[in-house]
Each structure stands twice: as structure tokens, then as C-alpha cells.
């Protein structure tokens, strides 16, 4: 069984991908500094898959720690790099943290990967690189727009570092540009565990429904969209996790056409904030107090993916619905809060 290094493997997307990898017959090896995750996530992974991955509570900014993991696992077949700071607002307040964490970590990882001769590399990118797109749905060929936050800038810079390196080194990279991941594993044994007040829509919804927050604020209903609320492409986190396994297999089997490739990973369908709220209420039957407030600075009006390239080239397409993702997110929230209803 092939060993795959998963950085940030106890985080939200990372942990679901570790499950998908184990179920596909890989042996994930996890590095995670626990800055926005918990060690107990390993228990959930082990319960779901029957396999307990090797785990290093290491910080990728420390090159000697990265080196140590490559030395302990000389047969790594590939790398999936999730570990990064991910909050747009926080990145504006703490730019150096974001540049250091999201860029130095990548440099250390790439240097050690090349030294160890490990070349397949999957990178977590974001639809944030498209900014406010001029056309919808967005294809991978549409221009990368100037970043509006240090977080977004780190994703652009990281893509450039990877493209430049793959041009001259044997590295083979797939950057997956995620749209909005939501939901949880259907077992409710792993899910999203935001530290502090959630910044994202769905964890805020589930925490409000669970009674932890008084009300959901809908940030603006004066956008030029059918119901006035902003539109995103919400993808079930298990669909996203499976996209990583598919992309990894493409690299392992040498089916990539370039040594740096980019794919949009979304459903291809846009949903408004109000549609998400209404679907949550319909699917769960739970009361969700909400109120319309002003727009959140930095938010775009609408973005959803053209998924043609992922379908044709990767042979991957999202299978789960937004309704299912919201049900799974709610099952997980209830489990975490010990709610019986
Ligand atoms: N929203 C609310 N109320 C909330 C939270 C969010 O109305 O309490 C709205 C937002 O205004 C937005 C939509 O719900 O219209 C989705 O917001 P999220 O914060 O869940 O997601 P974003 O699309 O803003 O952000 C996501 C990722 C970022 C990434 C960005 C790229 O979380 O990491 O996409 O566009 F940078």
C-alpha cells in the first residue's frame, strides 16, 4: 500500500481526504501542527476506516521537522498539501503570519520532497484566485485577478512557486481550486470544527440552529442576483476529498498532460445564501433565526465553477447534493453538541 504524506491532515478538508485515501487503499501519513484542529480527529478517522495513520504534530515552518518525516517514511509515493492558514479577515490583520505560514511551509516541503525524490504533489488552491469573475461559470483559463487579501495572495504566490518549480524539476503538480466546501462525513465521526466564532456560512448556520449563536446574519440582500443574496458553489466535502484521490491517481499513473495542472473543484451550480438557509430549514426542520445585515467587506457577488475540465480530464464529478451536505453538517453539529432532536 502506497504511503501518501498529507499535511494539515487533521483539518477539515484534510481529515475527510485522509478517510477517502484510506478507503482507496492508500496509507496516509499526517503532519498537522494542531493550530486549527484537534488530535481526537485521528480517533474519528480510525473509527471510520479501521486504520490509524502515522501522525506528526509538527510545524512545516521548521525544516528539520519536515526532513525528519521524509527520513522516517522513505517510500512516500506522493504529497497532498493542505496545511495553511485560511481566514481572509485574519489574514488582513496578520499578513506576516499568513505569508510565513503559507509560503515558508510550501518552500520547506518542496525542498525536502525534491531531496527525497517524491514528485507527485497535490496543492489546495482556491476559487478566490478568480476574484469577481467577468464571466460565469468560471473556467480555469479565466484570468487570476489581483488578490484582495494576504490569504488570497498566498494561494496565488504558491501556485506560481509550484508552476515555476515544476518547469525545471521533476515535480508533478495538480492545483485544485476549491469552491465552497461544506458538510461532513455521513458517519458524523468527523466534520468541521472551527475554533471560536465561525467565519463561514454553514458552520454559522449549524451553530445557530444548535443554540450557540443567537441569529445568523445574512451579509447583504442588495446584490445583483435573483434574490439579492450572494451566490457560491457549495460542494460536499466528501466529493472534494474524492477529487484529491482522483487527482493523485492521475499523477501516480503518469496520466497528467503537463507538470503543472489546475482544476476547478466545484459542483458547477451556484446557490444563493438565502437558498442555503431555506434548504437547511427544509431538510432539518430546525428553526433558524436570521436577519439581513449589510454586506461583508471583500465578498464577491457570485462565483461558481465550470467543471468541464475536471469531468473530461480527471474523470471526476461531484455526486452529492447541497441538501445532503447540509443534512450531514447538521448531524455532525448535533453529535458535537450532544443534541438529541
Ligand atoms: N455569509 C453570511 N453570513 C455568515 C457567513 C457567510 O451571509 O455568517 C455569506 C457570505 O457573505 C458569502 C457566503 O455566505 O456570501 C459564503 O461565505 P463563506 O464565508 O462561507 O465563504 P466565502 O465564499 O466567503 O469564502 C470561501 C472560503 C475562503 C476563500 C473564499 C474564496 O471560506 O477560504 O471562499 O472566495 F478564500
Task: Kindly write down the DSSP assignment for every residue of 205-240, as one continuous string.
Answer: HHHHHTTSSS-EEEE-S-SSSTTSS-EE-EEEHHHH
Mean pLDDT, range 131-160, rounded to an integer: 96
Query: Residue 339: which pLDDT band, with cuts at 50, 70 and 90?
Result: confident
Strand partners, 263: 176
Q: Which of 296, 303, 322 to mutate to test the pocket of ligand 1 (most atoms within 8 A of CB)?
A: 296
pLDDT attached to residue 6? 99
pLDDT tens for 297-313 read 889 999 999 999 999 99
pLDDT tens for 14-37 read 999 999 999 999 999 999 999 999
pLDDT attached to residue 298? 87
Rounded to an integer, what distance in angstroms lies between the CA atom of residue 66 and that of residue 31? Answer: 9
Kindly state which CATH superfamily the domain 201-232+268-337 is placed in. Answer: UDP-galactose 4-epimerase, domain 1 (3.90.25.10)
Quote the ligand 1 centre to 259 CA distance (angstroms). 31
Q: For the whole prediction, is pTM greater than 0.85?
A: yes
Rounded to an integer, what distance in angstroms lies between the CA atom of residue 72 and that of residue 239? Answer: 31
Rounded to an integer, what distance in angstroms lies between the CA atom of residue 83 and that of residue 191? Answer: 17
Q: Is 3-182+235-265 a CATH 3.40.50.720 domain?
A: yes
Residue 338 half-sphere exposure toward CB, CA atoms < 13 A: 0
Ligand 1 atom closest to 86 (CA): 33
Quote the ligand 1 centre to 298 CA distance (angstroms). 10
Ligand 1: residues within 6 Å at CB?
Answer: 86, 88, 126-128, 180, 199-201, 204, 216-219, 230, 232, 273, 296, 299
Please answer whether residues 123 and 115 qualify as being in contact, where contact means their C-beta atoms are separated by less than 8 angstroms: no
Atom 24 in ligand 1: which residue has the minimum CA distance? 299
Atom 16 in ligand 1: which residue has the minimum CA distance? 201
Please answer whether residues 101 and 61 qualify as being in contact, where contact means their C-beta atoms are separated by less than 8 angstroms: yes
Ligand 1 atom closest to 155 (CA): 36
Domain ranges, ordered by start, for the chain: 3-182+235-265, 201-232+268-337
Ligand 1 atom closest to 149 (CA): 36
Quote the ligand 1 centre to 7 CA distance (angstroms). 24
Query: Residue 254: which pLDDT band, with cuts at 50, 70 and 90?
Result: very high
**% of the chain exceeding 70 in pLDDT:** 100
Quote the ligand 1 centre to 200 CA distance (angstroms). 5
- Catalytic entry in 58, 98, 130, 151: 151
Least confident segment among 139-143, 146-150, 184-188, 225-229: 146-150
| 341 pLDDT more than 70 | no
pLDDT tens for 58-79 read 999 999 999 999 999 999 999 9
Ligand 1 atom closest to 87 (CA): 33
Domains 3-182+235-265 and 201-232+268-337 equal at CATH topology level: no
The answer to whether residue 151 is catalytic is yes
Amino acid at each position: 500500500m502506497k504511503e501518501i504524506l498529507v499535511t494539515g491532515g487533521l483539518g477539515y478538508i484534510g481529515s475527510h481526504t485522509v478517510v477517502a485515501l484510506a478507503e482507496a487503499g492508500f496509507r496516509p501519513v499526517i503532519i498537522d501542527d494542531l493550530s486549527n484542529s484537534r488530535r481526537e480527529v485521528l480517533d474519528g478517522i480510525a473509527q471510520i476506516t479501521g486504520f490509524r495513520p502515522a501522525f506528526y504534530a509538527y510545524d512545516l515552518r521548521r525544516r528539520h521537522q519536515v526532513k525528519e518525516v521524509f527520513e522516517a517514511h522513505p517510500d512516500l509515493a506522493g504529497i497532498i498539501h493542505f496545511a495553511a492558514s485560511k481566514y481572509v479577515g485574519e489574514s488582513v490583520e496578520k499578513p506576516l503570519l499568513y505569508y510565513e505560514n503559507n509560503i515558508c511551509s510550501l518552500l520547506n516541503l518542496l525542498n525536502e520532497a525534491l531531496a527525497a525524490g517524491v514528485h507527485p504533489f497535490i496543492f489546495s488552491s482556491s476559487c478566490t484566485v478568480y476574484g469577481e469573475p467577468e464571466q460565469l461559470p468560471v473556467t480555469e483559463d479565466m484570468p487570476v485577478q489581483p488578490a484582495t487579501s494576504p490569504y488570497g495572495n498566498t494561494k496565488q504566490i504558491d501556485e506560481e512557486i509550484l508552476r515555476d518549480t515544476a518547469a525545471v524539476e521533476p515535480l508533478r503538480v495538480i492545483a485544485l481550486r476549491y469552491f465552497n466546501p461544506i458538510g461532513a462525513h455521513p458517519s458524523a465521526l468527523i466534520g468541521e470544527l472551527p475554533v471560536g466564532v465561525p467565519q463561514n456560512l454553514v458552520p454559522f448556520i449549524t451553530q445557530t440552529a444548535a443554540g450557540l449563536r443567537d441569529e445568523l446574519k445574512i451579509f447583504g440582500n442588495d446584490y445583483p442576483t435573483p434574490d439579492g443574496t450572494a451566490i457560491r458553489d457549495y460542494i460536499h466535502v466528501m466529493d472534494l476529498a474524492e477529487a484529491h484521490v482522483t487527482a493523485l491517481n492521475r499523477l501516480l499513473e503518469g496520466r497528467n498532460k503537463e507538470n503543472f495542472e489546475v482544476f476547478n473543484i466545484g459542483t458547477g451550480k451556484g446557490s444563493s445564501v438565502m437558498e442555503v438557509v431555506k434548504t437547511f430549514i427544509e431538510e432539518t426542520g430546525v428553526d433558524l433565526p436570521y436577519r439581513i445585515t449589510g454586506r461583508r467587506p471583500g465578498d464577491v457577488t457570485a462565483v461558481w465553477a465550470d467543471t468541464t475540465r475536471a469531468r473530461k480530464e480527471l474523470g471526476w464529478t461531484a455526486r452529492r447534493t447541497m441538501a445532503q451536505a447540509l443534512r450531514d453538517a447538521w448531524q455532525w453539529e448535533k453529535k458535537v453538541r450532544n443534541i438529541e432532536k
